[in-house]
Amino acid sequence: MLISAMTRRPSLLTEPALHVVGVMQNVEMGDAYDRWRGLSFPRGSTTDEVDELHATLAQWDAFVANTVIPVVTRNATYDEGVLDFNAELAALDVSIKNAMVRAETRDRQRLAAYGEYVDALKGALAEARTQSG
CA dist 37 → 24, 60, 125 (Å): 21, 14, 12
* 78 part of a folded domain: yes
**Distance from C-alpha of 13 to C-alpha of 40, rounded to nearest angstrom:** 17
* 66 part of a folded domain: yes
* 54 part of a folded domain: yes
Expressed as residue numbers, the domain containing 128 is: 31-132
Total domains, the chain:
1
**Of the segments 7-11, 26-30, 32-36, 114-118, which one has the largest average pLDDT value?**
114-118
- With H, G, I as helix, E, B as strand and everything else as coil, classify residue 100: helix
Rg (CA), the chain: 15
Split at pLDDT 50, 70, 90, the class of 132 is: confident
**Distance from C-alpha of 128 to C-alpha of 14, rounded to nearest angstrom:** 18
* 26 part of a folded domain: no
Q: What is the pLDDT of residues 48-80, one digit of tens each?
A: 999 999 999 999 999 999 999 998 888 888 888
0.75 surpassed by pTM: yes
* 24 part of a folded domain: no
* 122 part of a folded domain: yes
* 1 part of a folded domain: no
- Average pLDDT on 119-126 reads 95
Indicate whether 5 pLDDT > 90. Answer: no
Q: What is the pLDDT of residue 121?
A: 96
* 124 part of a folded domain: yes
